[in-house]
Amino acid sequence: MAPDMPGKLIQDPDWWRGATIYQIYPRSYQDSNGDGIGDLLGICQRLPYIASLGVDAIWISPFFKSPMKDFGYDVSDYCDVDPMFGSLADFDALVEGAHANGLRVMIDLVLSHTSDEHAWFVESRQNRDNPKADWYVWADPKDDGTPPNNWLSIFGGPAWQWDARREQYFLHNFLSTQPDLNFHNPEVQDALLEVTRFWLDRGVDGFRLDTINFYFHDAELRSNPALPKDQRNATIAPSVNPYNHQEHLYSKNRPENLKFLERFRALLDEYPAAAAVGEVGDAQRGLEIMGEYTSGDSLVHMCYAFELLSGQRPTASSIAAVFDRVHEAAADGWACWAYSNHDVMRHASRWDLSPQAQRLFATLMVCLRGSLCLYQGEELGLPEADVPFEALQDPYGIEFWPEFKGRDGCRTPMVWEKSNHTGGFTSGTPWLPVPGEHLSRSAEAQEEDPTALIHHYRRALSFRRAHSALVKGDQTPMQATDDVLCFTRSDDRETLFCVFNLSDTPSVADLPSGKWHSVGTELGSIAPGPDGRLHLGPWQAAIAIKTNV
């Protein structure tokens, strides 16, 4: 039996469906000890603020022991906290504090690979016949000494690194210091499930599963085919990265993954209300894989693909097309939508959004079917920071500079105050510079301004919670007419008709027949005009409701 969970949360096994999850990048959220790096106790200090937003859960990016070559996504000990973030006792305090504030806690599990400093890899690389010799993906070179196939790393170059001890190559889909685990070995699966149990027993409510479609590789090590140029896109990797030139049939997305996900879900089901969201990293088949991994009740609860994390500002027609594909590929699954995260340029800059457009996209998000992820600072409308090359920390940006500046611009510290150059993040020197233009958008400054974006986010999340049809209801196919997007959300109690003008020019839309009442005026939603039509201004929404009982 699972242990009693700390805190006062109701153990609703369905809490995740339609939930809003707030992502915290711990290095950059709040520093409690003045070393310039955010930590777990810093997050504890800010739990009341997070709860005030109206979110349901927090997702904390990795805080495990790590040499930090990829800032925690290279784990050297899955069952301990890196000293820069605190201790296990600090984590326990965080869970207790989150639960006391009505927040569930999800942590970022990086299962596809470890650091090369992990004890498992240190043992595995010693020779070819040690107990963990087959825990990672090792392969002999071709006769000419080159790697066994053409697989590429997302971080640039071949996905194979030569190891002189074993005179073999090992696979790394990311940095060469991040060797891939061999999921074809049942012992590896068992060890990772024990890691999962360790954190469940400490009271976590769920997991964000990093690179969920990378777990298995093709056992025959077949080379990936070339991807036609017209099918390439930069959703997963920047356009200058040759990773985009391959169709990744064999280096990821393998069918064997479904059996492991069944084992993972069975473990989570032993606990009252544990849930997981998977990150599907694939530029061509992301929605299809999301559908595969979330269908039924035996795999993961929800997944997110990268369609709304793309570089192009979404249009009415592009959003409708995404949801048409979701209906085709994942009608029985559950999506989790995000505009921003720690890996992409902040969407305020990526899509070049005016303040009015930022509000409209926030309103649109809370009306979508699925669960939601908000990235820290999104509620403040923070733009992407311009981090100079000499201050860069991200190896991805250093590799592809200047055509791709990496991920540091979305990872700069959270701004809490407007009164000092670090925005209240630290009393020391921050690990990344705090942009001066962020200070005027600090949480403190926005709390004092009733027209600020943070209040719109609070109202939008409150509106979603107040309407059951938005949380768990059905959604009709979207209709896109020019720049206007419309759809309905409904359950047994209510139906909401949602209309969004995604442009700088006014437009007109019509309500369906029926007895509709306007709602959402606090979000800028308009009522029909004297002619009964919806006269939408630029970046304006209209939401109407009718009861079904």
Q: Which residues are catalytic?
A: 210, 270
At residue 373, what is the residue type?
Answer: C
Pairwise CA distance, residues 284 & 245, whole Å? 12
**Alpha-carbon torsion (224, 230, 232, 238), positive or negative:** positive
Where are the strands (E) in 376-478, listed by range? 474-475
The distance between the two most distant Cα atoms of the chain, rounded to a whole number of Å, is: 81
Pairwise CA distance, residues 186 & 188, whole Å? 5
Query: Smallest Cα–Cα separation from 165: which of 133, 204, 143, 135?
Result: 133
**Would you call 124 exposed, middle or buried from its count of C-beta atoms within 10 A (0-12, 13-18, 19+)?**
buried
Question: Which residues, 6 or more positions from 374, have their beta carbon under 8 angstroms from its beta carbon?
Answer: 20, 21, 22, 23, 53, 55, 338, 340, 457
* Phi and psi torsions of 536, nearest 5°: -90, 130
Walk across the sheet containing 138-139 and list its strands. 138-139, 168-171, 160-163
Pairwise CA distance, residues 467 & 490, whole Å? 10
Pairwise CA distance, residues 210 & 417, whole Å? 32
The H or E element that residue 121 is part of is helix 119-124
Residue 65 contacts residue 115 (beta carbons within 8 Å): no
